[in-house]
Structure 1
Amino acid sequence: MKVIPFKIPKSSKELIRYQVDCQPYFYDKLHQHPEIQLSCILSGEGKLIVGDYIGRFEPGDIFLLGRNVPHVFRSDDVFYQPASKKQSHSIIVFFDLHAFGNEFWTSEELQESKDFFEHLNGCYRVQVADQDSFIWQIQQLQYKEKLDKVLGALQLVDVLMRQATLQRLNLGDQMHNLSEREGKRMEQVVQFLVEESHRQLSLEEVASVANMSREAFCRFFKDRTRKTLVTFLNELRVNNACHALLHTDQTIAGIAFSCGFANLSHFNRVFAKTIGTTPREFRRQATITKV
C-alpha cells in the first residue's frame, strides 16, 4: 500500500464514507487523501502528527482534516506489544466533494457548505457544547442509507459550521498536498523519529534516512514542518514525557532520560518552554485535576 497518496476504499460516486477502525493500533504511516476527514477517537491513545503540530489524542477527541493534509495517528508503544490486549477504536466519516461533480456544489443552498469545506486547509480539534451527543450523532450515520445518509452527514456539517469550535492545530501549509516522492520521504523520516526519539540522534543519521546531505535535509525538513530537526525532536520527546508523567510513577529524571534527553536540566528547560510549566508542576496539576 502506498503511503502517499492513500486510497479510501469506496466507490467513485460515494459522497459519504463511514468507516470503523477497531484494531490493536491505528494505521501508523504518514498519509494523505483528497477526502475531508472527520475522526472520532473512542478508545486508544497516542500522538497525532500533522505538519508542524505534534500532540496527543485520547478517547473523546474529535478531529477534522481538510483535503490532502498529510497526517498520522500513531498509537502509543504499548499498543504494539504482542501481549497487549488494548484496542484502538475510532469512527471516521470521509466527505468526497467531487463524487457528484462540481455542479452539485454550485447551488445557492449548498454555497455556505462549499465555502466551509474549501477553507479547511489543515487539521482542527473539534469542540461542541455536548461532545457526547455529537459523538452519538456521528455514530448514528452508520445505520443510515442513501438519502438519509447524505442528510445525516450534512447535519454533521451544520453542527461543525454553526455550533462547534474548531481549533486549528497545524500552523503552516508546507506539508499540504505533498508529491508522492516527498510524502514517502517525509513518512520515512517521521516514522524513524517517532521510533528512535528515545535515544540520541545525530543530524547525519536522520539525513541518511532521507538519503540526503545534511544541508539538503535541513532545507527539506524545515520547508515542510516549519521547524528545525532539533525543535521537532524536542517537541516529540516532551510529548512522550507528558504521557509518562501522567501515566507512570517514574521519577522525572528517569522520564527525561527514557525520552531521549541527555540531562535533567536541559529536559526541564525544554519542557517549560514547550508546555509553559515545569514537569513537576505539570504532574502535580494533573494529579489535582484527577482528584
Structure 2
Amino acid sequence: MAKVISFQIPKSQREFVRYQQDRGRHFYDKLHQHPQLQLTVVLEGTGQFLSGDYLGRFQAGDVFFLGENAPHVFRSDPEYFVQDVDLRSAGDTIFFDFEVFGKTLGDLEELRSLRKFRDFSGLCFQVFGESRERITAIFEEFAKSSGLQRFQLAILLLSILDQSGENLVPLNRPALARGLSERDGKRMDEVMQFIFEESARPITLQEVADRASLSKEAFCRFFKLRTRKTFTQYLQQVRVSQAKKLLIESDLGISEIAFQVGFENLSYFNRSFKAITGKTPKSWRVADKTAS
C-alpha cells in the first residue's frame, strides 16, 4: 500500500493509476496535497473533510474527487484516536497521474476530453446519485484488476466523472484553488490540528497565532487568504460541524450540545448554527431523523 505522506505521494513516471486501500482506526490526519488527481470512496468511519475553504462531514458511502494539488485531510472524529476503542476506518482511493501522458494528452483525439480535469487543480468535489453508485461498483472490481483491465476501469471512472453533471458538486471555491508551499502547508496543518483539538474551549487569537509562529496581524492575513474566513468564523464552523454529529448520534439536549462543542451561550449557538446551515439545531435534528 502506498503511504500518503505530507504534501507528496511516491511517484512513478510509468504509472498512470495507483490504487490504495486505507484500513485502520483512523485516516491519515495531516493536511497534504499531491500532483495526482484523487478519487476516494469512504467505506467505514466518520469525521470532517477539509479542503481549502470547505469544511464538512464524511461518512461511509461518500465519494470525493480532488483535482491536482488540492490541500486536504480526512480527519476522523476524536473517538477514532482513543486507544482500545473498537472503531475502524476504511477507504479506497485511486490516484490518476496525468503527467505520464506528456504531450500525448493534447495530441491524441481520444484523450483530449481528459484535459478538462487539468482545470480542476486545487478543487474538490463530492459525487452523488447514479454517478456515486456506478463509481462504487467499479471500485469493487478495481482491487481484483491489473494491467490493461485496470487502465480501462480507470478511464471508465474518469468518463463517469466527466458526464456526472449535477451529480458532481463542487465543495471549495476556485479563487482559493491553489496549492500550498511545504512551509505554509505544515503551518496550516499545525493550526488545523490545534483548532480541532482545542475547539471545545475558548481559544484566543494569540494562542493560534503562536502555533503558526506569526504575529496576530500576520496570522489573520495568512489564515484569511487560505480559508476565506476569519479565524473566528472558521472556529464557529468547526463547532457547528461537531454539533451536527452530536445532534445525530446522541440524545443530548441542545443547550448541552452547545456548551460541549465550545459555545458560551445558547442564543449565540442557535444564531451561528442557523447562519451556517440555514436551520435551527432543533429543526436540523428533526429533519435528519425524518430522512433516516
TM-score by length of structure 1 reads 0.94
For residue 243 of structure 1, give the secondary structure of its aligned residue in structure 2.
helix
Q: Residue type matched to 2:91 in 1?
A: S
Q: Residue type matched to 1:125 in 2?
A: Q
For residue 223 of structure 2, give the secondary structure of its aligned residue in structure 1.
helix
In the other structure, the counterpart of 1:226 is 228
1:15-55 per-position Cα deviation (integer Å, ceiling 9, x unaligned): 10011001100000000000000000011100001111110
In the other structure, the counterpart of 2:279 is 277
Note closer, same or farther for the CA distance 1:2–1:52 as it changes in structure 2 (3 Å cut): same
Does residue 145 (structure 1) correspond to residue 160 (structure 2)? The answer is no
In the other structure, the counterpart of 1:171 is 173
Note closer, same or farther for the CA distance 1:224–1:123 as it changes in structure 2 (3 Å cut): same
1:157-196 per-position Cα deviation (integer Å, ceiling 9, x unaligned): 1111114521100114436211111111111101111111
In the other structure, the counterpart of 1:63 is 64
Q: How much has 1:203 moved relative to structure 2? A: 0.4
**Higher mean C-alpha deviation, range 185-194 or range 171-180:** 171-180
Contact 1:3 1:184 in 2 (8 A): no
In the other structure, the counterpart of 1:262 is 264
1:136-176 per-position Cα deviation (integer Å, ceiling 9, x unaligned): 21221122211111111001111111145211001144362
Q: How much has 1:132 moved relative to structure 2? A: 3.4
Does residue 134 (structure 1) correspond to residue 135 (structure 2)? The answer is yes
Q: Distance in 1 between matches of 2:222 and 2:38?
A: 27
Contact 2:121 2:177 in 1 (8 A): no
Q: Distance in 1 between matches of 2:74 and 2:117?
A: 24
Q: Distance in 2 between matches of 1:28 and 1:175?
A: 21
Contact 1:91 1:139 in 2 (8 A): no
- RMSD of aligned alpha carbons: 1.7
In the other structure, the counterpart of 1:199 is 201
Q: How much has 1:101 moved relative to structure 2? A: 2.5
Note closer, same or farther for the CA distance 1:247–1:17 as it changes in structure 2 (3 Å cut): same
Q: Residue type matched to 1:238 in 2?
A: V
Q: Residue type matched to 1:21 in 2?
A: D
Note closer, same or farther for the CA distance 1:97–1:2 as it changes in structure 2 (3 Å cut): closer
Contact 1:51 1:172 in 2 (8 A): no
Structure 1 residues without counterparts, runs of 5 or longer: none
Contact 2:131 2:160 in 1 (8 A): no
Q: How much has 1:286 moved relative to structure 2? A: 1.6
Q: How much has 1:10 moved relative to structure 2? A: 4.9
TM-score by length of structure 2 reads 0.94
Contact 1:175 1:224 in 2 (8 A): no
In the other structure, the counterpart of 1:213 is 215
In the other structure, the counterpart of 2:40 is 39
Count of aligned positions: 289
Give the counterpart of 1:5 among 4, 7, 13. Answer: 7
Q: Distance in 1 between matches of 2:122 and 2:219?
A: 25
Contact 1:126 1:167 in 2 (8 A): yes
In the other structure, the counterpart of 1:16 is 17
Q: How much has 1:289 moved relative to structure 2? A: 2.1
Q: How much has 1:4 moved relative to structure 2? A: 4.1
Q: Distance in 2 between matches of 1:35 and 1:20?
A: 16
In the other structure, the counterpart of 1:161 is 162
For residue 64 of structure 2, give the secondary structure of its aligned residue in structure 1.
strand
Q: How much has 1:13 moved relative to structure 2? A: 1.1
Q: Distance in 2 between matches of 1:131 and 1:110?
A: 23
Contact 2:48 2:75 in 1 (8 A): yes
Structure 2 residues without counterparts, runs of 5 or longer: none
Percent sequence identity over aligned pairs? 40
In the other structure, the counterpart of 1:30 is 31
1:248-291 per-position Cα deviation (integer Å, ceiling 9, x unaligned): 1111111111101111110011001111111111112222222x
